[in-house]
Amino acid sequence: MKSDRVKKGIERTPNRALLYATGLSSKDMNRPFIGIASSFTDLVPGHVGMRRLERFIERGVARGGGVPFIFGIPAICDGIAMGHSGMKFSLPSRELIADMVETVCKAHQLDGLVCLTDCDKITPGMLMAIARLNIPSIVVTAGPMISGNFRSKRLSLVRDTFEAVGRYRKGDISKEELTCLEMNACPAAGSCQGLYTANTMACLTETMGMSLPGCATALANSAKKERIADESGEKVVNLVRRNILPRTIMKKAAFENAIRMDMAIGGSTNTVLHLLAIAKEAGVDIDLETFDRISKDTQHITNLRPGGDYFMEDLEYAGGIPACMKRLRQKLHSVPTVSGKLINQIAADAVIYNEDVIRSTKNPYHEEGGIFVLRGNIAPDGCVVKQSAINPKSLIFKGKIKVFDSEEEAIEAILGKKIKKGDCVCIRYEGPKGGPGMREMLGPTSAITGMGLEKGCALITDGRFSGGTRGVCVGHISPEAFDGGMLAILKDGDEIVIDVHKRKIDVKLSEKEIQKRFTAWQRPEPKIKEGYLARYAKMVSSASEGAVFGR
């Protein structure tokens, strides 16, 4: 065992002395050491219930014959960090999380790892670490939040708080109703109730084979989730004894399965960044074209918020990800999983309990997948749009650009009623380097929707979007403005054409005008010149490559 390096032999007498100080017995020195990377925090709703899950994972590890060690990993709530400078730290935290898990596991020579996670950047950060470490590992996601309720209407965070701000500014709802929504939209612990980034990543983790069947949609605080946590603790010890390594599971076929599931359920565009980053750590070659190729060959079979009206709890009660696998089984690779079962076995055993929540591929919500990759003179290296969250009448957009150099400027203009139907809001210098940190633009997109402009406006950015975004919202535009991408030279009044079906995005400028503008353009000064974000901006790659650090 790896842990023998810190606990075996005469020369390790002082090491053992310190281990005994933690309460271990001499018998424990012959058992596998299992790390439990817990992202518990009182700051994040998706993570506040993890203390109890830690206990169940510990039980499982002990029952399996291992020795559990809990260690802490930080977590950021994107919703709380949204709309201000705090969001600059969200995506960069992913790299810190991966590095911290690696650091603790290697410093203490742990034999196996359980990652207890839930929200947006924590899950991909954990998976990056798992791929990098390549020690037997399993992921437990803490589960979705139940829906809120007000006047017998089910509520979710994005539609009933972020978008409600715009409805209030428009005069559609009163201050009293806004306050009631604020108090009732998020009634308990768990990741936000729709198919936003946290829940999408949980679904893809299960599809990839790195968490147990049913884990992704088992609700927070449920006994089912606790049983999954317990079983995960026991399973990881078995993985250690059999030396089942993550890279034997996280092969290209597993990533293609995850991408296909992403397209079928209509997941968050953030998953493009995260799957690219995880694949790089696993030594697997995927790119933007992989996403687009699979999207063209995958029917969109669920209709969850933000684009639809179903909630994660509906997906859970309909059969969860195993039921989705059953629908897709003809197109999924039958690869191994941490459960010991092959994907086709899990799919065969699944039951579909609701034919509308999880539709047949012969009766899909859309004939193609949830995410499209667009290209054009604005984005020669590509950009992404969540087509499943766009009104069918808005799939072709033609309009005039209004340019903003920050998210704050754009929100002020939207809520100040300076954006009209036919306008395309362009938010630039919010990319991985220019932001720095590639903030989510949920504030502006929700304001557009709340103001009733969703069907008549578009938004483009080198930043990214929350999984809660809906409408014609194009993100991850690469190259970003700070790197001299086309966004940097756009001006108010420039005409843009976005054709989602044709996967095209172009601004109507002649080559002569483009060259003239680039000749006059100068890279702006970095927005942040000290601390972690300044270092991050110097090291991070393009969004088209997953916004990862270079090796």
Q: 490-499: per-residue pLDDT in tens? A: 999 999 999 9
Average pLDDT value for residue range 171-179: 96
CATH code for position 193: 3.40.50.2300
Bond prior to 14 in cis (omega within 30° of 0): no
Measured between alpha carbons, how far is 324 from 455 in angstroms, rounded to an integer?
30
Residue 381 and residue 324 share a domain:
no
Measured between alpha carbons, how far is 450 from 448 in angstroms, rounded to an integer?
6
In a domain, 7, yes or no: no
Contact predicate 361/299, CB 8 Å: yes
In this model, does residue 10 exceed pLDDT 80?
yes
Measured between alpha carbons, how far is 502 from 524 in angstroms, rounded to an integer?
34
Residue 419 and residue 502 share a domain:
yes
In a domain, 24, yes or no: no
Measured between alpha carbons, how far is 68 from 110 in angstroms, rounded to an integer?
10
Q: Residue 466 has what pLDDT?
A: 84
**Two structure tokens written together for 87:** 């969001």
Q: Residue 142 has what pLDDT?
A: 98
Mean confidence (pLDDT) of the chain: 97
In this model, does residue 468 exceed pLDDT 80?
no
Contact predicate 404/425, CB 8 Å: yes
Domain of 167, in residue numbers: 150-184
Let me know if 8 is exposed, middle or buried by CB neighbors in 10 A (0-12, 13-18, 19+).
middle
In a domain, 361, yes or no: no
Residue 529 and residue 426 share a domain:
yes
Residue 194 and residue 106 share a domain:
yes
Measured between alpha carbons, how far is 12 from 15 in angstroms, rounded to an integer?
5
Residue 160 and residue 138 share a domain:
no
Strands 383-386 and 472-475 turn out to be: antiparallel
Average pLDDT value for residue range 173-184: 97
Q: Residue 543 has what pLDDT?
A: 97
Give the tens place of pLDDT for each residue, 309-327: 999 999 999 999 999 999 9
Contact predicate 146/218, CB 8 Å: no
Percent of the chain with pLDDT over 90: 96
CATH code for position 397: 3.50.30.80
Q: Residue 469 has what pLDDT?
A: 85
Q: Residue 541 has what pLDDT?
A: 97
**CA-to-CA dists, residue 223 to 228, 317, 531, angstroms:** 9, 14, 43
Residue 158 and residue 140 share a domain:
no
Closest by Cα among 233, 204, 202 to 218: 202
Residue 499 and residue 540 share a domain:
yes
Closest by Cα among 384, 387, 373, 215 to 300: 387
Contact predicate 474/460, CB 8 Å: yes
Side-chain half-sphere of 410: how many Cα atoms within 13 Å? 32
Give the tens place of pLDDT for each residue, 211-256: 999 999 999 999 999 999 999 999 999 999 999 999 999 999 999 9
Give the tens place of pLDDT for each residue, 262-280: 999 999 999 999 999 999 9
Average pLDDT value for residue range 436-452: 93
Residue 379 and residue 297 share a domain:
no
Domain count, the chain: 3
Residue 530 and residue 427 share a domain:
yes
In a domain, 356, yes or no: no
Active-site residue list: 466
Q: Which amino acid is at 433?
A: K
Closest by Cα among 387, 413, 410 to 498: 387
Handedness of CA 128, 227, 324, 333 (dihedral sign): positive
DSSP 112: E
Residue 199 and residue 111 share a domain:
yes
Give the tens place of pLDDT for each residue, 60-81: 999 999 999 999 999 999 999 9
In a domain, 25, yes or no: no
Measured between alpha carbons, how far is 313 from 320 in angstroms, rounded to an integer?
9
In this model, does residue 551 exceed pLDDT 80?
no
Residue 412 and residue 386 share a domain:
yes
Q: Residue 467 has what pLDDT?
A: 79
Q: How far is CA 178 from the centre of its chain?
A: 28
In a domain, 365, yes or no: no
Residue recorded with tokens 């920050």: 406
In a domain, 451, yes or no: yes
Residue 524 and residue 416 share a domain:
yes
Q: Is 89 helix (H, G, I), strand (E, B) or coil?
A: helix
In a domain, 142, yes or no: yes
Percent of the chain with pLDDT over 70: 100
